[in-house]
Amino acid sequence: MGYGVAGLASPLYPNGYLSSTNNQNVNGSCLEDPNYTIKLPIVDDVPGFKWRLVIAYDGTRYSGWQFQTSPPTIQCIVEKALIRGTKLERKDLHLVGASRTDTGVHAWGQVAHFVTPFNYDSLESIHAALNGLLPSDIRIREISPAVPEFHARFSAKSKVYHYKIYNDAVMDPFQCHYAHHSIYKLNTSVMREAAKHYIGKHDFSAFANASRNNRVPDPVKTIFRFDVIEMGALLQLEIEGSGFLYRQVRNMVALLLQIGKEAIPPDIVPKILATRDRKELAKYALSAPPHGLCLVSIKYNKEHLRLPAGCPTTSFGRTHTVSKCKLPFY
């Protein structure tokens, strides 16, 4: 089966039926979107149209994705823009995010969906309006119509995160909000060796912090790849998995940092995995800081990304051109 990637000042601050989720408590409070073992969402017939958003944001100023008004979150800001742009109430929008990123975590390919009771002839105007209402550190990269079966969270097949580490004596000031600074010279060869132990289907209980959500997560996740890429002083750790427990990515990275410092051997990874005990990991490493983490993309079945009939095409933003020079020549 084929897959596809869906992947400061602001005015907001001083015909059809679709399958929709009753999303009370769907947007939980966790990082790295724990894919809980729960029943499929309750499906209601809600009159209207479903729309998919691809969102990028700098998470520095925000308390993660999940809705709360103070301190502000990404979902809260996006919903305020949607309320003004669509003239609908929050309860009618049914906004659902695919990944509940934590405080300070960034995203290039966050995906969300919302509902309207009306169709659009074109999405370029609402796209431009939303970005005009949002602060400059949150952008709607794409907006497209979605089929009724699409669900931003439950339709996801895999998620890709990047974690950046700046490995030099002096930190690059242009990377300070987006990369963790390690003054210790890291051995990337042993980091790659250790990362291989994460790949595959494992019980990651030892790498999960206690969740603030009252659901019981399924600790068994599949990691498809874990690459350690060197780009000069910058190390980029690329992780793709079926889902992640609360702070799982940052805990896996934290252990790799200790291994890269050669404080512990690479074979510590399977030993800690086998314990299924978070306290065992705590003997060697704490969670890596959030600002180095970025949600890059979310992958879905291509059938869930197809455009429904009778709806406008995807908007990637409106560009402007100058047809002729309006300034006089001298």
Closest of 5, 28, 3 to residue 160, by C-alpha: 5
pLDDT score, position 178: 97
Would you state the structure tokens that stand for residue 240, as one six-digit string? 């793709």
The predicted model gives 115-120 an average pLDDT of 95
User: Quick one: pLDDT at residue 6?
Assistant: 54
**What single DSSP character describes residue 62?**
S
pLDDT category of residue 239 using cuts at 50, 70 and 90: very high
Q: What is the pLDDT of residues 204-226, one digit of tens each?
A: 999 998 765 545 578 999 999 99
For position 52, what pLDDT does the model report? 98
pLDDT tier at 47, thresholds 50, 70, 90: low
Nearest Cα neighbor of 117 from 91, 146, 93, 96 is 93
Which band of pLDDT confidence, cut at 50, 70 and 90, is reported for residue 321? confident
Please give the pLDDT value at position 328: 65
Which pLDDT does position 43 carry in this prediction?
Answer: 43
- Positions annotated as catalytic residues are 102
Q: What pLDDT does residue 204 have?
A: 96
- How does residue 329 score in pLDDT terms, banded at 50, 70 and 90? low
SS3 content of the chain, % helix, strand, coil (to 5): 25, 30, 50
pLDDT for 254 = 97
Q: Which residue has the higher pLDDT, 47 or 183?
A: 183
pLDDT band at 96 (very low <50, low <70, confident <90, very high): very high
DSSP H or E run through 227? strand 220-231
Beta bridge partners of 239: 161, 226
Q: pLDDT per residue over 167-218, tens digit each? A: 999 999 999 999 999 999 999 999 999 999 999 999 999 999 876 554 557 8
Q: Are 179 and 123 in contact (CB under 8 A)?
A: no
Q: What is the mean pLDDT of the chain?
A: 86
Cis ω on the peptide bond leading into residue 71 (within 30° of 0)? yes
Write b or e for each residue in 17-48: b if 16 or more Cβ atoms lie within 10 A of its Cβ, otherwise e.
ebebbebeebbbbbbbbbbeeeeebeeeebeb
Q: Tell me: the pLDDT tens digits for 11-46?
A: 444 434 443 333 333 333 334 444 433 334 434 455
Q: Is the distance from CB of 223 to CB of 239 less than 8 angstroms?
A: yes
Percent of the chain whose pLDDT exceeds 90: 76
User: Which pLDDT does position 210 carry in this prediction?
Assistant: 79
Q: What is the mean pLDDT of residues 267-287?
A: 95
Counting residues of the chain whose pLDDT is more than 70, the rounded percentage is: 82
CA angle 80, 86, 91 (to 5 degrees): 60
Q: Which of 134, 137, 118 is nearest to 48 (CA)?
A: 118
Render pLDDT for 126-163 as a digit per residue (tens, 0 to 9).
999 999 999 999 999 999 999 999 999 999 999 999 99
Give the whole-angstrom CA distance, residue 293 versus residue 172.
17
Which pLDDT score is estimated for 45?
Answer: 52
**pTM of structure:** 0.84
Cβ atoms within 10 A of the Cβ of 218, count? 15
